Structure 1
Amino acid sequence: MMDAKPAHDWILDVLQDLQSYAMQNGLTGLAERVEALMPIAEAEITARSMGDDTPVH
């Protein structure tokens, strides 16, 4: 049986795709900013999946 992913996990895939695209196309500033966003997105998704709606900043 497959594990259910939280409803917002898809955004992590989008961010990873965006970062890969940026790196492959010499958009280093964008790639670096997306990399910095990943832990924030992961923390907020984890908090929401635990029932905490408080923004993580």
Structure 2
Amino acid sequence: MVLVGGAVVVTGNSFLRRALDHGVDVVLDVVAGVPHVFPTFHGSLTEADEVLDRIALFLRQRLG
């Protein structure tokens, strides 16, 4: 899972493309209007709480 705030630029030549090309299960989660380290604001920023839930779901689905 790759998590970025909306201001972060993800280019076509990024590691995401290489990961996909090598068969890696990639999920890109872009959250608009948040600062770079927004997950650290859990408990005070709704988007941080929501994304931590999505991260937990991603891990549960893949790790059991």
TM-score interval for Structure 1 and Structure 2 normalised by the shorter chain: 0.3 to 0.5
Q: Counting strand residues as a fraction of each chain, which structure ranks higher?
A: 2
Taking structure 2 as the reference length, what is the TM-score of the superposition? 0.34
Q: Counting helix residues as a fraction of each chain, which structure ranks higher?
A: 1
